[in-house]
Structure 1
Amino acid sequence: MESMNIVFTAGVVAGAMNALAGGGSFVSLPALIAAGVPPVQANTSSTVALFPGGLASAWAYRDGLRPVGDVSLRALLVTTLCGGLVGALLLLQTSSAAFTFVLPWLLLVASVALAFGRRIGVALRARWHIHAHAVLAIQFALGIYGGYFGGAVGIMMIAMWGLLDNCDLKLLNAPRTLLVSAANVVAIVIFIVSNAVSWPETLTMLAGAVIGGYGGAHIGRRASPRIIRAVTLLATSGIMLAFFVKTYAPTLLHH
């Protein structure tokens, strides 16, 4: 019962984080592992639990859906779905030991994207431009990452799309939410068909995430964006460092 309370609370916090600034999986994934769910199954369950909130965002943005520069939304959607499929299958082939080893590095990548993704995107945009075909190749890779883990993948997409010459960054939120959901939805189908979801914890967390997402949206209208961002980065960085210590400190001490 206590573990379910932790899972539900983590769902509330993760839902609120996703509504405010992103990074909800930094809370949901560790909570599921702490509740006794094996690491790979914790990742699949976290993806399923947090998906409805992302889908709701995609629906809310539906009127703003449009091509990204010269790249059609349909091409991006198909590419992302294919990448998400590959990523989900790769995750299911990953052992718990291997996923535990690589998880801190995945969290580090997501932390850097959350902290510096927009600034990196602006810096790259000032120096580099890429062709539409290259966008699809990178989008496929991001789809794989989204299906496998997905932390901060939406920020990575916007940073990459910004390298197109005629891409208006102000109009990218709608395509971003749709394509992040696309990478997740194909992964979720694979996870469910493969019986890779721990349903009691997932449904408990999903209920919490819905509540947290609704509350987070209201908080976001009143709270300072700078404070929200600072708290989010502090929390995600702390969790990432904790996973590095937990995973690698015993090995270093042994040597």
Structure 2
Amino acid sequence: MSEILLFILAGFGAGVMNAVAGGGTFLTFPALVFAGIPPVSANATSAVAVFPGYLSAALGFGPEIKTLPRRNLIWAVVAGLAGGLVGGLLLLVSSNDLFSMIVPFLLFVATLAFAFQKQISAFLTTSGWQLTPWGLPGIFTVSLYGGYFNGGLGIVLLALFALWGMGNLNAMNGLKNALSFVISAISVATFAIAGIVSWPAALIMGASAIAGGFAGARIAKILPVALMRAVIILVGLTMSAVFFACLFT
């Protein structure tokens, strides 16, 4: 019962966080590891749990996505599928020990990227350092990261779009959610076929995450976004410290 309650709370909190500002993986992944699920399986299960939210968010940005060049969007989806598949396969061949060594660094970097999102975006847009818009190597690389470890994927995607020179935040968010859905779809399918998903936990978290997403839409209109961002950053730093401590003990 305590584990079920933990999954419900973590899933609901992840749904709220993703609806308000993102960062829900910082709750679901540590909760699954804390419940005794091996790190590789926990990462796969977490990806399944937060997966439905990407689709609903992408649909919410439907008008913005339709303004993007159709040909470029199709190629971006293809590159996202390829990168997500490779990343998912890399996770399958990673041992729990190896993944446990990598996770603290991924969590910490993703937390820093989330914490300094505005500064990173501003720097990239004003520095003149830009990649070729809709470049397939960049999409593939970021998708590979997302297929391997879903945490902070949205922030990394936004940074990539800023490198392209995109300035319409709504269009960037729409493309971010669409590609996140594509990347997660192929990696989730890979994890499911490989049999490394803890389905009871995934279903409980997924259902509560959907409920949290609806609640988060309402909460976002009441609570300051800065407060929610502070909570996400605190959770991310705390979990990074916990995993670093486990790594060296």
Deviation, 1:81, is 0.8
Q: CA deviation at 1:71?
A: 7.7
Gaps (5+ residues) in structure 1?
251-255
What count of residue pairs does the alignment treat as equivalent? 247
1:44 aligns with 2:44: yes
Find the counterpart in structure 1 of residue 103 from structure 2: 103
Q: 2:23 maps to what in 1?
A: 23
Conserved? CA contact 2:26–2:232, under 8 Å: no
Deviates more, 1:4-13 or 1:83-92: 4-13
- Per the TM alignment, residue 68 of structure 1 is displaced from its structure 2 partner at its CA by 5.9
Indicate whether 1:130 and 2:131 are aligned. yes
Cα separation, partners in 2 of 1:68 and 1:113, compared to 1, 3 Å = farther
What is the rounded CA distance, in whole Å, between the counterparts of 2:70 and 2:120 in structure 1? Answer: 22
Residue 209 (structure 1) aligned with residue 209 (structure 2): yes
Q: 1:66 Cα deviation (Å)?
A: 4.4
- 1:118 alignment partner in structure 2: 118
1:253 matched to which residue of 2? none
In structure 2, relative to structure 1, the CA distance for the partners of 1:9 and 1:67 (3 Å cut) is same
SS of the aligned residue for 1:200 comes to helix
Q: Which residue does 2:181 correspond to in 1?
A: 181
Equivalent residues in 2 for 1:167-246 (5 A)? 167-170=166-169, 171-246=171-246
Using the size of structure 1 for normalisation, the TM-score is 0.91
Gaps of 5+ in 2: none
Query: What's the counterpart of residue 53 of structure 1?
Result: 53
Give me the identity figure in percent. 36
Distance 1:78 1:67 in 2: 19
Structure 2 residue matching 1:197: 3-state secondary structure: coil
Instruction: Determine if contact 2:158/2:172 at 8 Å carries over to the other structure.
Output: yes
Match of 2:33 in 1: 33
- Cα deviation for residue 168 of structure 1 reads 2.7
Aligned CA distance change for structure 1 residues 223 and 120 (closer, same or farther; 3 Å)? same
* Alignment partners' CA distance in 1, 2:193 and 2:67: 32
What corresponds to 2:84 in structure 1? 84
Q: Report which stretch shifted further, 184-193 or 60-69.
A: 60-69
For residue 150 of structure 1, give the secondary structure of its aligned residue in structure 2.
coil
Q: How far does residue 125 in structure 1 lie from its aligned partner after superposition?
A: 2.0
Offset from partner CA, 1:32-63 (integer Å, 9 cap, x none): 11112111011101100111112111122122
Secondary structure, in 3 states, of the residue corresponding to 2:196? coil
The corresponding residue for 1:8 is 8
TM-superposed deviation, 1:218: 0.7
Q: 1:163, CA displacement in angstroms?
A: 2.3
Length-normalised TM-score, structure 2: 0.93
